[in-house]
DNA sequence: ATCGTTAATGAAAATGAATGTCAATATCAA
DNA sequence: TTGATATTGACATTCATTTTCATTAACGAT
């Protein structure tokens, strides 16, 4: 089963109906190798389903985010792009030039977090780690 | 010399003129122990300088950011709050409840980054690390 | 297969943060 | 003190996102 099928099933289990515009948006996001913002998703979705409205894109994003299937990616240039959600301790590595996004696991932060909790008295519940750079293709 | 005086001097060296509304904004940001968004800064600045316009807040933020004295802090609820910029390898620890922000140094990411570069072929140029939790006061 | 409930849709209007314009004002070097 | 010019605040504008609403479509029940 492909990722988009899995997502569609999860949406349906959640009470959502499977419609053509929704399928288009889900497929785009499930297959994307980069974070996409609502405008970009809208443009791509139109190719498959010309009648789709931008509002539907927003609404589908909302649902997918609520199900933790996608999440917003924060960058200097803007914070409105979405990417498939991190699983477990995954973080993200982004190409500053072409936008290519890679998930990676690499959680060596336990020690740092424990030490900080002791020193500051904070109770740390979440962390964001993002790396930015140039992908192989964009270094040329 | 206080931090706001230092910032004002830097702005002046950069060719900016020191005006009352600008002083108000700078003082608020230099002394804040939490990230503040333009609206919050505007409200606070009005108390010292009732005639100030919101536009001036935006313009002052722009200048301070260009001088790397403040930087935008990204959070779930919004990405429009500003905090004094990180120095060197500082990162930020935020209280999810009251917004209190703490800078800390703790850069043990070199190994992770080197390993990732080798594995992915990316050239990594920057990283963001943010921790979220509850400050001592908000745990009660 | 058909029906009926109700979720979902797209168009249009509304909202609201951020930016651009501009005449009046204030800073600060000379 | 003066004058060039950066800065100001009011107002208008832009543009992404949300809201509203009548219509359409999905899908469980029959």
| A92 in Cβ contact with A53 (< 8 Å) | no
Q: Model's pTM, two decimal places?
A: 0.94
Specify the pLDDT at position B1. Answer: 83
- B63 within 8 A of B70, measured Cβ to Cβ: no
Helix (H) or strand (E) holding A104: strand A101-105
pLDDT given for residue B106 in this prediction: 81
- Tens of pLDDT along chain A (140 residues) come to 899 999 999 999 999 999 999 999 999 999 999 999 999 999 999 999 999 999 999 999 999 999 999 999 999 989 999 999 999 999 999 999 999 999 999 877 899 999 999 999 999 999 999 999 999 999 98
pLDDT tens digits for range B57-68: 999 999 999 999
Query: Quick one: A58 exposed, middle or buried, by C-beta within 10 A (0-12, 13-18, 19+)?
Result: middle
CATH number of A3-84: 1.10.10.10
pLDDT of the residue at A1: 82
Whole-number distance in Å between A41 CA and C22 C1'? 39
Mean pLDDT across B32-49: 97
Same fold, A3-84 and A90-139: no
B112:A108 CB<8 A: yes
Q: Where does the pLDDT of residue B122 fall: very low under 50, low under 70, confident under 90, or very high at 90 and above?
A: very high
Q: What share of chain B in percent tops pLDDT 90?
A: 93
The residue count of chain B comes to: 140
With beta carbons under 8 A apart, name residues in chain B contacting A124: 93, 131-133
Q: Which residues contact A88 (CB under 8 A, 6 or more apart)?
A: A105
Positions 49-108 of A with beta carbon below 7 A from strand C are 49, 51-53, 55-56, 59-60
Confidence of residue B108 (pLDDT cuts 50, 70, 90): confident
Task: Quote the pLDDT of residue B27.
Answer: 98
Summarised one tens digit per residue, pLDDT across range B22-36 is: 999 999 999 999 999
Does residue B51 lie within 7 Å of nucleic acid chain C, judged by its CB?
A: no
User: Which residues from B are below 8 Å from A112, CB to CB?
Assistant: 106, 108
Q: What are the structure tokens assigned to A127, written together?
A: 């962390």
- pLDDT, position A140: 85
Q: What is the pLDDT of residue B40?
A: 98
Alpha carbons A95 and A100: distance in angstroms, whole number: 5
Question: What residue ranges do the domains of chain B occupy?
Answer: 3-84, 90-139
**At the topology level of CATH, where does B90-139 sit?**
Dna Ligase; domain 1 (3.30.1490)
Residues of A in contact with B112 (CB under 8 A): 106, 108
Least confident span in A104-113, B70-79, B109-118: A104-113
For residue A121, the model assigns a pLDDT of 98
pLDDT class of B107 with cuts at 50, 70, 90:
confident
């Amino acid at each position: 089963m492909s990722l988009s099928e899995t997502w569609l099933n999860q949406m349906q289990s959640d009470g959502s109906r499977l419609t053509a515009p929704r399928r288009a948006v889900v497929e785009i996001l499930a297959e994307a190798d980069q974070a996409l913002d609502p405008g970009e998703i809208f443009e791509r979705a139109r190719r498959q389903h010309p009648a789709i409205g931008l509002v539907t894109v927003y609404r589908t994003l909302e649902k997918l985010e609520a199900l933790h299937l996608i999440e917003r990616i924060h960058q200097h240039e803007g914070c409105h792009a979405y990417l498939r959600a991190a699983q477990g301790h995954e973080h993200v590595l982004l190409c500053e030039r072409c936008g290519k996004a890679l998930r990676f696991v690499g959680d060596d932060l336990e020690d740092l977090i424990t030490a900080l909790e002791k020193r500051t008295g904070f109770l740390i519940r979440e962390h964001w780690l993002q790396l930015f750079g140039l992908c192989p293709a964009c270094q040329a």
